[in-house]
Amino acid sequence: MSWALLINGTVGVGKTTVAETAGDLLAEEGVPNAVIDVDWLRRSWPKPEGDPFNSAITVSNLRAVAANFLDTGVTRLVLAGVIESADERRAYEQALGVPLSVCWLRAPLEEVRSRLRRRHDGDGEGLRWHLGRSGELERVLERAGVEDYVVQSTHEPRQVAEEVLKGWVRTGRAG
């Protein structure tokens, strides 16, 4: 049986880094896996009217990419991305075609904003958007309650990824 995990959280919290590290840890254990950065599945221009985050194409692309990985024998899909509602979670799980667990990766906003300042050094416009979005998205996720468990992203990526994978097993949806 195959399972999927979405590492959810605000911008700059470390979702992609932790997902990549979790994929490495699974590979070290001999577990066939694939890591999917959902942002790349939505990246296109122009965005459709009324769909500022390209949600429709994201789900369509996720369906195709997940099926391709699963067809090759992958048993664990690790996603880095953002879902903001129960409806969006259901759409992802339907697209994936396998049980989905959601881990909310969190860190204090000041730490997140410090990471964003480093990441967007020299990109004033991008930095402004991400700094504003970080707090906004944190509040959206608090209201949404789409997570199965929470992990703090305040340690080294390997340690955080280990905690994320342990939580996934505790949800009973990772085999």
- Is 128 among the domain residues? yes
- As for how many domains the chain has, the answer is 1
- What is the spatial distance between Cα 144 and Cα 137, in angstroms, rounded to a whole number? 10
DSSP 123: -
Contact between 24 and 7 (Cβ < 8 Å): no
- Is 74 among the domain residues? yes
Tokens coding 133: 């979005």
Q: Which domain holds residue 55?
A: 3-169
CATH of the domain at 128: 3.40.50.300
Cβ neighbours, 10 Å, residue 119: 13
Over residues 38-87, the pLDDT tens digits come to 999 999 999 899 988 889 999 999 999 999 999 999 999 999 999 999 99
pTM of the model: 0.91
Rg (CA), the chain: 16
Classify residue 140 by burial, with Cβ atoms within 10 Å: 0-12, 13-18, 19+: middle
Over residues 106-134, the pLDDT tens digits come to 999 988 788 888 888 888 888 887 778 88
- Is 174 among the domain residues? no
- Is 18 among the domain residues? yes
